[in-house]
Chain A
Amino acid sequence: MSAAKVLYVISRAPYSNASGQEALDAILIGTSFELDVSVLFIADGVFQLKQAQQPSDNGLKQFTKTYKALEDFGVEKIYLHDLSMVARGLSESELICATTTLDSLAVSALIADQAKVFTF
């Protein structure tokens, strides 16, 4: 039996809430259960991947660095909604890790293809 497809959707910006950290915790748990994990950054969630974050100035930990390490945990399917990125003045060169960009139709297809979808 092939591993169940599970998608984690990250739709909120970092630091104003714990949503991103909670998403990372959930993703890492998912990988330990050998699920077929995909991650999608959408809406303000694309800011999670922005370079040059300086949370230590505010006494915070830069948990977003962990996204770069996801590949080491076997998470190779990292997607980004292109419209969300462009609408927020970001470009792929400003992101901390490589992602596959998807248009809106492709996002719908990605969601439709999953066994479970968790949104953060």
Chain B
Amino acid sequence: MNTLFVINRSWHDSVWLFEQLAFACPGDAILLVEDAVLALQSPVNLGSFSAKCAAMKIAVYALADDCLLRGIDSQYDSIQMIDYPGYVKLVTQHAKQVAW
């Protein structure tokens, strides 16, 4: 039963959450929305986060609309940008959501 973890808190206020990979298990997915996309401005922090997620087989997504809104220009191979229909699809593909 896979879980979609949706993080909306800024990295800078909630480092613990990112350090713990949102408490996701292998096979789960993490989606960054709202202030969580601000992390994409910090390549060093985010690089280590996405590397750890990749090692754990946790997929990482970011909501493109929230990046555009905040002027965050993100180009990461390890992070998949999705739109709102993509968000809906992710929700349907997971048994439950945890909103952090």
A-side interface residues toward B, CB under 8 Å?
Answer: 9, 11, 43, 84, 87, 104, 107-109, 111-112, 114-117, 119
Contacts and interface: CB of A to CB of B under 8 A. Distances in A.
A57 B94 CA distance: 47
B55 interface: no
28 contacts: A9-B98, A11-B100, A43-B14, A43-B16, A43-B17, A84-B16, A87-B16, A104-B20, A104-B23, A107-B20, A108-B23, A108-B24, A108-B25, A111-B3, A111-B23, A111-B25, A111-B98, A112-B1, A112-B3, A112-B25, A112-B28, A114-B96, A116-B96, A117-B3, A117-B96, A117-B97, A119-B98, A119-B100
A86 to B, nearest CB: 12
B20 to A, nearest CB: 5
B25 A109 contact: yes
A45 B24 CA distance: 19
B68 interface: no
Contacts, number: 33
A117 B99 CA distance: 8
Contacts of A109: 25
A87 B15 CA distance: 13
A46 B28 CA distance: 26
Contacts of A87: 16
A119 to B, nearest CB: 6
Contacts of B14: 43
Given A11-B100, A43-B16, 13 more contacts: A9-B98, A84-B16, A87-B16, A104-B20, A104-B23, A107-B20, A107-B23, A108-B24, A108-B25, A112-B25, A115-B96, A117-B96, A119-B99
Interface string B63-100: 00000000000000000000000000000000011111
Nearest to B6: A119
Contacts of B96: 114-117
A9 B91 CA distance: 20
